[in-house]
Structure 1
Amino acid sequence: MKNIEIEEDLYHFIASKTQHIGESASDILRRLVMPESVVSKTEPLVVEEKPLETENTQSTLLAELADLKLLEMPKMVDRFLAMLALLHKYHAGSFASVLTLSGRNRTYFAINKDALLATGSSTNPKQVPDSEYWVITNNNTVKKVTLVKEVAQLLGYSDAQIERLVSLFCPETA
């Protein structure tokens, strides 16, 4: 496998074309640029669906969340970054999908600080711990909760799992 460097806007474009969690950049580009090579016209496409998480992974993630004692963290931004770091840890391969999250005038996630600074004057970007991703942190608590929900949804969590994550992150909004 070869590595190539691409500009950030192209990276965001590729990430925005993801059709399913776990789809690699190569798969996305092949589908967009060489559609005839993705599936032979005579062969049907067979996709084996794998669960995003096993019960063991889910319980491990929840146990680790409980161990973090998020509610003991006095600053919401610290809870927010800890939650995102844990979601990244368990979904590193599909976490790039967060790059598609944006508001009317803002991008919420990027792979460098400058990209977020360019979207507004008071973004206060911080790096998601143990990852290459950056996130805007000057949002209010409700927006942080919404972002956690949207990230979990992108990563394939069910509504019930998302509500459990939110209750561990910010129970007053759950």
Structure 2
Amino acid sequence: MSMIGEYLRVTTAELDRAVQAPDWALDVVEEVQDAEEESEPAPAEARHFSTYKTWDLLRFLLARADFPVNVIHGEEPFAEDEDWGYGPPRYLRSERVRLAAHVLRATPYDQLINSVDPADLIKAEVYPLGWDEQGSLERGRHWYDGLTQFFEAAAAADDSVLVWLD
């Protein structure tokens, strides 16, 4: 089984309801995932986004860059008794989403991987393993770009974001 980084855009009202009724939130997640699986919207148009297995690479790179928002794990817990795959979900409020979107856009992927050696990833045991392969740092570029677009769209809509590992 793989660990996959997952995101869902929600309105303020939906966030309030999700915090009060995590089972309802999980139902919404599944409905949106099912609907978007067929239509495959671009990250800027999607309510659901996934960084797939690159979540830990992105975590590592963003931590090195002192990124001001925890876009990989979320910041505020809810449903602490729930397990959405690999632990409980968390969320980012709309103001944190706006900050994240701004800093993601201002931080190109090339800047994040500058001076990173694949040996650093191996030493840090970044998931998934296999960082010694040629061009392995490029694995994250597509997902970072998508994450940036997703957060920009969420920020423009004043949405919050649910975050979890599945």
Q: Give the TM-score band, short-chain normalised.
A: under 0.3
Q: What is the TM-score with the length of structure 1 in the denominator?
A: 0.26
Tell me which of the two structures has the higher relative contact order, counting C-alpha pairs closer than 8 angstroms and 6 or more residues apart.
Answer: 2
More strand by share: 2
- Computing the radius of gyration over CA atoms, which structure comes out larger, 1 or 2? 1
Q: What is the TM-score with the length of structure 2 in the denominator?
A: 0.27
More helix by share: 1
